[in-house]
Structure 1
Amino acid sequence: MAEDNYSDNPVYRLAALDQDFVLGDSMRGARFLMEYSKAEEFLRRERVRSTIVAFGSARIREDGGEWQSRIYNAARTFGRIASERGGALCDGRQWRDNVIATGGGPGVMEAANRGARDAGAVTIGFNIQLPHEQFPNPYITPDLNFQFHYFAMRKMHLAMRARALVIFPGGFGTMDELFELLTLSQTGKGHHMPIVLYDRNFWTRIINFEAFAEAGMISLDDLKLFEFADDPEEAWDCLLRCGLEVPDR
């Protein structure tokens, strides 16, 4: 009788070691859970309790002209200020608070991560796998440099530890993140967090927030969900005034 060659049959493979199975349609829920659990494990390992999230365009360049350079340097300065004063600096035995977190890419994200590194703090990058390559910027702490396949899980990790948002000028991706987090605050589905839009002229030119209220699409009180700032120190002061908690160390 011929010997059964069962070891070559993919059905016989251990499920956890069967890449074809793990990456198949039926395991999408499990992959979603894995993306949550992996990032959560490493964030806890590095004792990250809370974050300040900096959003903004990947197209902003330090050498991209006067306006782009000003935005880049403002994001870098803010990243340093928040890291120095917010509780991100510790000896590794305490919980870290208000750690700068970004989407991990270039532009504003790079600048904010860079400012945190200037302060000597750890800093997080939540990268997303895209059809065209996105490379993490070099200022992310290596043990906090994550990559996600699912936008939804990436957004969840950006939001769940966030205690404040500072949103610099950006495009569709920045708008998506801004309105999703404004909706969480508006509906009470997320915890309260101060939101600062950096560069008032940009934001009021791009979005007519008052028109939402005038049309009855939002309430006037919803316009209090965010503030504007035109200077990194002003942005930090706005966060404190709107309730950002800073540990006493």
Structure 2
Amino acid sequence: MSRKPRPARPSRPGPSYRLAMFDRDFLLGDSMRGMRLQMEYKKTEEALLAWGVRSTIVVFGGARVREGGTGGHAAWYEEARRFGRIASERGGALRNSDGVRDNVIATGGGPGIMEAASRGAREAGAPSVGFNIRLPHEQAPNRYTTPDLTFQFHYFAIRKFHLAMRANALVVFPGGFGTLDELFELLTLRQTGRMRPTPIVLVDAEYWRRIINWEALVEAGVISPEDIDLVSFVANAAEAWAVLEEAGVAREEVAAAPSLPSPDSA
């Protein structure tokens, strides 16, 4: 008596059977890099829109600066903290007018000067934005950024885009390579006309004139004399805010203007 043949077992589906949206190997592959860039931009954009963040004041500075530190660190920390509070109280971040906020403090989200500026905003009762970046040695967000506005980026390019696109002003405290990178990135946008006339303020003029010989760049013919006028040198937070007031940063029509050119004007 012959046995009936057993039914064939269904083959086990391979990776191609996974839904694309849940396929980690596919999503993290080289071919999807463009999509990952787009998603990283869009996730942050939607959160900022939900909070009505129309414009920001970006604060740069050293992550190694510590409250109560030595060698100028204590003064830098306190001035950044003071600036975060002044700008938040006077710039419009406290006002939620027609669902939008202007001149919200935005930083790289980490410790040091970034923490100090966010702390000042928190003390004023205003939100602050933290644009953190994923690094080999993880950068932990400071505890003063608004939780809903604390982001983590993989791509430096998208992080820099978000730092620049809503900026009504850039206020830069002493810092190292990362601070210099951000400063010169945005100075180049200003110099080349790819960013609207946005004030760039360097706090602690003595520090900035000591580490960068601005006049030597002019003498060497690699920048024009008027390029130095793209930056303002000040001593402290109060002077920094005075420069921004003089530039009209707190005016509604300035606050509402985009920082980067539209595709039609690019």
TM superposition score category, shorter chain reference = over 0.9
Written as runs of structure 1 = structure 2, the 5 A alignment for 1:51-200 is: 51-65=56-70, 67-91=72-96, 93-200=98-205
Larger C-alpha radius of gyration, 1 or 2? 2
SS in 1 for 2:252: coil
Alpha-carbon distance between aligned partners in 1 of 2:40 and 2:79, rounded to the nearest angstrom: 32
Give the residue type in structure 2 aligned to 1:46.
W
Give the residue type in structure 1 aligned to 2:187.
L
CA contact under 8 A between 2:55 and 2:168: conserved in structure 1? yes
Q: Which residue of 2 aligns with 1:9?
A: 14
Root mean square deviation, CA, Å: 1.3
- Report how many aligned residue pairs link the two structures: 247
Q: Which runs of 5+ in 1 are unaligned?
A: none
SS in 1 for 2:168: strand
Alpha-carbon distance between aligned partners in 1 of 2:58 and 2:96, rounded to the nearest angstrom: 22
CA contact under 8 A between 2:168 and 2:199: conserved in structure 1? yes
CA contact under 8 A between 1:47 and 1:92: conserved in structure 2? no
Q: Does 1:206 align with 2:211?
A: yes
Give the residue type in structure 2 aligned to 1:2.
A
Identity rate, percent = 62
**CA offset at residue 66 of structure 1?**
5.8
Q: Which residue of 2 aligns with 1:39?
A: 44
Alpha-carbon distance between aligned partners in 2 of 1:22 and 1:39, rounded to the nearest angstrom: 19
Alpha-carbon distance between aligned partners in 1 of 2:113 and 2:231, rounded to the nearest angstrom: 19
CA contact under 8 A between 1:77 and 1:112: conserved in structure 2? yes
SS in 1 for 2:64: coil
Q: Which residue of 2 aligns with 1:229?
A: 234
Alpha-carbon distance between aligned partners in 2 of 1:55 and 1:111, rounded to the nearest angstrom: 11
- Structure 2 length as normaliser, TM-score? 0.90
**CA offset at residue 20 of structure 1?**
1.0
Give the residue type in structure 2 aligned to 1:114.
R
Alpha-carbon distance between aligned partners in 2 of 1:37 and 1:5, rounded to the nearest angstrom: 39
SS in 2 for 1:196: strand
- Structure 1 length as normaliser, TM-score? 0.96
Give the residue type in structure 2 aligned to 1:168.
F
Give the residue type in structure 2 aligned to 1:5.
S
CA contact under 8 A between 1:193 and 1:243: conserved in structure 2? no
Q: Which runs of 5+ in 2 are unaligned?
A: 1-6, 254-266
SS in 1 for 2:72: helix
Written as runs of structure 1 = structure 2, the 5 A alignment for 1:16-31 is: 16-31=21-36
SS in 2 for 1:197: strand
CA contact under 8 A between 2:169 and 2:198: conserved in structure 1? yes
SS in 1 for 2:74: helix
CA displacement 1:96-138 (0-9 Å, x = unmatched): 0000000000000000000000100010000000011110000
Q: Which residue of 1 aligns with 2:258?
A: none
Alpha-carbon distance between aligned partners in 1 of 2:123 and 2:30, rounded to the nearest angstrom: 43
CA displacement 1:196-249 (0-9 Å, x = unmatched): 00001100000001111111111111111010111211000111223424339x
SS in 2 for 1:95: coil
Alpha-carbon distance between aligned partners in 1 of 2:63 and 2:203, rounded to the nearest angstrom: 15
SS in 1 for 2:195: coil
Change (3 A) 1:92 1:10: farther
CA contact under 8 A between 1:97 and 1:246: conserved in structure 2? no
